[in-house]
Amino acid sequence: MSLAPLEWMQPRDHPEANTVGIKQARLRTAGLVLRAAFLVCVVAITVRVSLPQSETIWTAYDTPGDLVRLVLGLAVCAWIGVQLLWMPDDEHSHLTWVQFGAVAIPFALICLVFIW
């Protein structure tokens, strides 16, 4: 029994396959960058809103409202930090973040500027 050459099973370089890989890599990079930028803006807005209304952070214990606002703000920032580290793994989620980021990041930056 002789072994037939299996050249037909060898992977061949197709130009279309290379451009698809490049497009997926760009989509993934854009999705991750826009996602990170949006989440960082949301964290900055949350930090600013959750700061006590008094002059320093150490006087947050004077009023219970400031203390609750500070604790809730820290919890939200921790949750968003976890979400920032959790990366999406499929192509559709990257496309969603590109589309959402194109609309949401300017709005988040406008809110950040006016709140700060």
Residue type, position 65, single letter:
G
Q: What's the structural domain count of the chain?
A: 1
91 inside domain: yes
Residue 34: what pLDDT? Answer: 93
Q: Could you read off the pLDDT of 21-49 as tens digits, one per residue?
A: 788 888 899 999 999 999 999 999 998 88
14 inside domain: no
50 inside domain: yes
Q: Could you read off the pLDDT of 48-80 as tens digits, one per residue?
A: 888 877 666 666 667 778 888 888 999 999 999
Report pTM: 0.73
| Res 17 pLDDT > 80 | no
55 inside domain: yes
Separation between Cα atoms, residue 41 and residue 104, nearest integer Å: 10
Residue 98: what pLDDT? Answer: 92
SS3 letters across 45-94: HHHHHHCCCCCCHHHHHCCHHHHHHHHHHHHHHHHHHHHHHCCCCCHHHH
Q: Could you read off the pLDDT of 77-109 as tens digits, one per residue?
A: 999 989 888 888 888 888 999 999 999 999 999
54 inside domain: yes
Q: Is the Cβ–Cβ distance between 90 and 32 less than 8 Å? A: no
Separation between Cα atoms, residue 16 and residue 62, nearest integer Å: 65
85 inside domain: yes
11 inside domain: no
Q: Which residues contact 44 (CB under 8 A, 6 or more apart)?
A: 112, 116
Range of the domain at 48: 37-115
